[in-house]
């Protein structure tokens, strides 16, 4: 089985955050009662600064994603026996490292999306999702092999 190309999988991963926000918004608009919308308005001023903090954590995760990707790749290749370090095995380890490292900026962005559900402002959420998407796409520029 061949691995998907980076230029195919990275945009899919990058848009998953904004898509989750769209699904969350549609569900919230369809299912929330007026009382729930009122509660969101009460929690917004408290949750928005927390969302900005998580947007900063997302940016930090974006900066750490490439070092995590390189570290994970080196670690996994070093675990292979010398005779198993084929080009195919290295490609699988590079793909695994890519999957792991793309989650570094995406996890705090997902948390910010949950804060939006609870009442946070949209601006820090959109900022975190944009930073996360750009960080994921930037990982496509990283060469680990050869």
Contact 104, 32 (CB under 8 A): no
Helix 6-31 vs helix 122-138: crossing angle, to nearest 10? 160
What are the pLDDT tens digits along the chain (146 aa)?
Answer: 566 777 788 899 999 999 999 999 999 999 999 999 999 999 999 999 999 999 999 999 999 999 999 999 999 999 989 888 888 888 889 889 998 999 999 999 999 999 999 999 999 999 999 999 999 998 888 777 64
Vertex 97, ends 91 and 99: CA angle to 5°? 105
Q: Count CB-CB contacts under 10 A for residue 6.
A: 16
Question: Which residue has tokens 């996360």?
Answer: 132
């Amino acid at each position: 089985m061949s691995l998907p190309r980076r230029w195919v999988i990275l945009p899919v991963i990058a848009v998953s955050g904004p898509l989750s926000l769209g699904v969350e918004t549609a569900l919230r608009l369809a299912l929330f009662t007026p009382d729930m919308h009122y509660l969101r308005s009460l929690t917004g001023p408290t949750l928005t600064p927390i969302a900005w903090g998580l947007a900063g954590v997302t940016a930090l995760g974006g900066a750490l994603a490439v070092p995590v990707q390189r570290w994970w790749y080196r670690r996994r290749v070093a675990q292979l026996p010398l005779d198993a370090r084929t080009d195919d095995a290295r490609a699988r380890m590079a793909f695994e490292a890519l999957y792991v490292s793309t989650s570094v900026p995406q996890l705090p962005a997902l948390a910010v999306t949950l804060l939006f559900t609870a009442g946070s402002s949209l601006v820090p959420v959109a900022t975190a999702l944009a930073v996360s998407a750009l960080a994921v796409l930037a990982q496509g520029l990283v060469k680990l092999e050869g």
